[in-house]
Amino acid sequence: MSDLRPGVLFDVDGTLLDTNYLHVIAWWEAMNDAGHPEVSMAAIHRSVGIASEGLVQRLLGHDDEKAREGHSARYEALRDHVKAFPKGAELIRHCAEKGLTPVLATSGKEKDLEWMLPAIGAEDSFAGVTTSSEVEDGKPAPDLVSTSLEEHHLDPDRSALIGDTVWDVEAAAKAGVRCVAVLTGGISEAELRDAGAVEVYADLADLLDRFDDSLLARLLD
């Protein structure tokens, strides 16, 4: 009998924390600081969710360390504005109570957990955390999802990723798990479904309200 468990991987930016547009501002300022005023906020928003090096490559066609470092500094100045989405902590606890293994799978660095976890507000309910510090390639590569599954002994067939961007959906699919999407990252339902999201909810509160009819409940069958 397999010792793998059913689980739920939670993305952070745009899913648990309302940060996507703060990242847009930070990247836009960093791009201007690095001499790339042609990069628009709209283009940046379409790229949020990709790991930093890949995001810069997508926007510029090449890497720019100054832009990446500038984003980190600019985002640091905006962190006081970070808020958790309503009912996120309750959803995490509900998953744990129902028998799913909640794991935080974030493109942030390990050092970011010092402020991320308190901001989310459900530290006691996570079975574990996987950060970008542990993987070679960030989303949309599958590394973060695959590593989370392996580290926390989760069954891909009975696990799902909750995310907010097409990059989350793509990473999940490459790792062999389904993605439940929310609209709080600013990406449309049509785009998320076209990318392969199996379900789309307005936000985490909506998903919690409809939990019993969702994929998450069926993972326990």
pLDDT in tens, 89-129: 999 999 999 999 999 998 888 888 899 999 999 888 999 99
Whole-angstrom distance, CA of residue 192 vs CA of residue 83: 23
Q: Using a cut of 0.85, tell me whether the model's pTM lies above it.
A: yes
Burial of 21-51, coded b for 16+ CB within 10 Å and e otherwise, reads bbbbbbbbbbbebbebeebeeeebbbbbbbb
CA of 2: how far to CAs of 6, 9, 51, 154, 155, in Å?
11, 20, 33, 10, 9
Longest dimension (CA), the chain: 57
| Spatial CB neighbours of 73, under 8 Å, sequence gap ≥ 6 | 30
pLDDT in tens, 156-202: 999 999 999 999 999 999 999 999 999 999 999 999 999 999 999 99
By the 8 A CB rule, do 167 and 45 touch? no
- Asked, as a colleague might, if the bond just before 140 is cis with ω within 30 of 0, I would say yes
Question: Which of the four pLDDT bands, split at 50, 70 and 90, describes residue 1?
Answer: very low
pLDDT at 2: 67
